Amino acid sequence: MADAENALSLLVTLAVAVIALAFPFVASGYHIYQGAQVLIFAIAMLGLNLLTGFNGQISLGHGAFFAIGCYGAAILMTKFGLPYWAAIPAASAVCFVAGFLFGFPALRFGGLYLALATFALAVAAPQILSYTGFDAITGGSQGITLAKPQAPIGLKLTSDQWLYLVCLASGAALYWAARNLARGRIGRALIAIRDQPIAAETMGVNAALYKTTCFGVSALYAGVAGGLSAIAVGFVSPESFGLSLSLAFLVGIVVGGLASLGGVLFGALFIEFVPNIADQLSVNFGESAKALPGAIYGALLILVMAAMPTGVAGGARAATNAVMRWLASSRPIEVANDGGADVAAKYEGKGESP
């Protein structure tokens, strides 16, 4: 049973990889840009999912780390003349440090209190970025305009295709890293801290170190996403990092499935496309329907969560299990969850907060 599931998951991963690779060569420039946005959101959500899904630390402030990555990369490129491939890792390193440091006060907060503390980050970020004193480097409310990076000479790719592939390569590498992190000793420690903090510490897990490092790594992911967003959009300004961005990330990981790394792709697709769909649907209610896109977005969100309470990943897993059971119904085989893999469902079932 577990073997069949592994084979299926490998198959799905391969299929996604093939589609993702082929996409920029069949789609138009505008769709490739959308694809890059999806990948950027997915990267940020990978980081947030490590923190919230695996480690149980709720962050409403990842938009702020995204902003640091975005501005960091933009400033390094425009003021220090760094190429984008150097600026983005450098900006992400800054994000790691920022996240790691923020992890210390976060140690003192649990659950909702941490959510509020990070919420403050998200609220403060746009204002700090538009602060007059920083105008010389941040461009103030006028923002910073960046030139789009071109594909290396010799590669016959448009700038959109190249950007998409850069995002895809970053996303794949970061997914692989997150997967290894989550599946090994570190992942077990993170989950143990989330579910049974006292037991974990008794077993010798250094909870403070794991939690702060997890915060740092999570911020690093958001920073990479921010940096990529800076070059993909070609413009950064404080308005890009409103509260709604941080909330969208959280919505994305919950829709995709908490503690499901593959689920972030669905989450990213959701936050990229559902607002567009909501805008288009609202036309049916007449031109004077004020604020309807927001209401329709909310209704769609409720629908998705009602249909799949454990997110798309949880829903897909339940569907797969049902199919497996049906296939195996001729043979008496015990249907068992293989412990660690089903963390999302486990997290949902758990009543108390860490």
Partner 1 sequence: MINRRIFLQSSAAAAALAASAGTARADDTPGITDTEIKIGNTMPYSGPASAYGVIGRTEAAYFKMINEQGGVNGRKINYISLDDAYSPPKTVEQVRRLVEDEKVAFLFQTLGTPPNLAIRPYCNANKVPQLFVSTGASTFADPEHFPWTIGFNPNYQTEARIYGKHILATKPDGKIAVLYQNDGFGKDYLIGLKDALGADHAGMIVKEASYETSEPTVDSQVVTLQGSGADVLLIAATPKFAAQAIRKSADLGWNGVRYVTNVSVSVTTVLKPAGLDKSKGLITAYYGKDPTDPRWNDDPGMKEWAAFVGKYMSPTELKDANATYAFGAAATMIQVLKQCGNDLSRESVMKQAANLKDLELPLLLPGMKINTSPTNFSPIRQMQLASFDGASWQLFGELLMG
Rule CB under 8 A: say whether 136 interacts with partner 1. no
**Shortest reach from residue 218's CB to partner 1, in Å:** 21
Task: Locate all alpha helices (DSSP H) within 184-284, ordered by sequence.
Answer: 185-195, 197-202, 207-233, 243-256, 263-282
Rule CB under 8 A: say whether 294 interacts with partner 1. yes
Total of chain residues touching partner 1, rule CB under 8 A:
47
Pick 55 or 237: Cβ nearer partner 1: 237
**Shortest reach from residue 136's CB to partner 1, in Å:** 14
User: Structure tokens of 251?
Assistant: 């919505």
In degrees and rounded to multiples of 5, residue 236 shows phi and psi of: -125, 135
Rule CB under 8 A: say whether 149 interacts with partner 1. no
Question: What is the CA angle 276-279-282, rounded to 5?
Answer: 150
Contacts of partner 1 in 203-232 (CB under 8 A): 229, 232
Contact segment (CB under 8 A) with partner 1 among 78-86, 138-146, 189-197, 309-317 equals: 138-146
**Shortest reach from residue 312's CB to partner 1, in Å:** 22
**Shortest reach from residue 112's CB to partner 1, in Å:** 22
Rule CB under 8 A: say whether 280 interacts with partner 1. yes
Would you tell me how many other CB atoms lie within 10 Å of the CB of residue 209? Answer: 11
User: Structure tokens of 186?
Assistant: 């570190």
- Enumerate residues 6+ apart whose C-beta is below 8 A from 178: 46, 47, 49, 50, 221, 261
Would you tell me how many other CB atoms lie within 10 Å of the CB of residue 149? Answer: 17
Rule CB under 8 A: say whether 113 interacts with partner 1. no
Residue 270 amino acid letter: F
DSSP secondary structure letters along 40-109: HHHHHHHHHIIIIIIT----S-HHHHHHHHHHHHHHHHHHS---HHHHHHHHHHHHHHHHHHHHHHHHT-
Contact segment (CB under 8 A) with partner 1 among 205-213, 271-279, 315-323, 333-341 equals: 271-279
**Shortest reach from residue 158's CB to partner 1, in Å:** 12
User: Structure tokens of 207?
Assistant: 């909870």
Q: Rounded to an integer, what distance in angstroms lies between the CA atom of residue 25 and that of residue 14?
A: 18
Q: Which of 26, 154, 287, 306 binds partner 1 (CB under 8 A)?
A: 287
Q: Rounded to an integer, what distance in angstroms lies between the CA atom of residue 163 and that of residue 39?
A: 11
Rule CB under 8 A: say whether 33 interacts with partner 1. yes
Contact segment (CB under 8 A) with partner 1 among 25-33, 99-107, 111-119, 256-264 equals: 25-33
Q: Which of 85, 131, 176, 285 binds partner 1 (CB under 8 A)?
A: 131
Q: Which of 3, 26, 30, 198 binds partner 1 (CB under 8 A)?
A: 30
Pick 208 or 302: Cβ nearer partner 1: 302
Q: Are the CB atoms for 67 and 129 separated by under 8 Å?
A: yes
Rule CB under 8 A: say whether 5 interacts with partner 1. no
| SS3 state at 235 | strand
Pick 264 or 296: Cβ nearer partner 1: 296
Contact segment (CB under 8 A) with partner 1 among 175-183, 198-206, 275-283, 301-309 equals: 275-283
User: Tokens 């970053």 correspond to what residue?
Assistant: 170
Interface residue list for partner 1 (CB under 8 A): 28-31, 33-34, 37, 123, 127, 130-132, 140-143, 145, 229, 232-240, 242, 244-245, 275-276, 278-284, 287-288, 290-294, 297
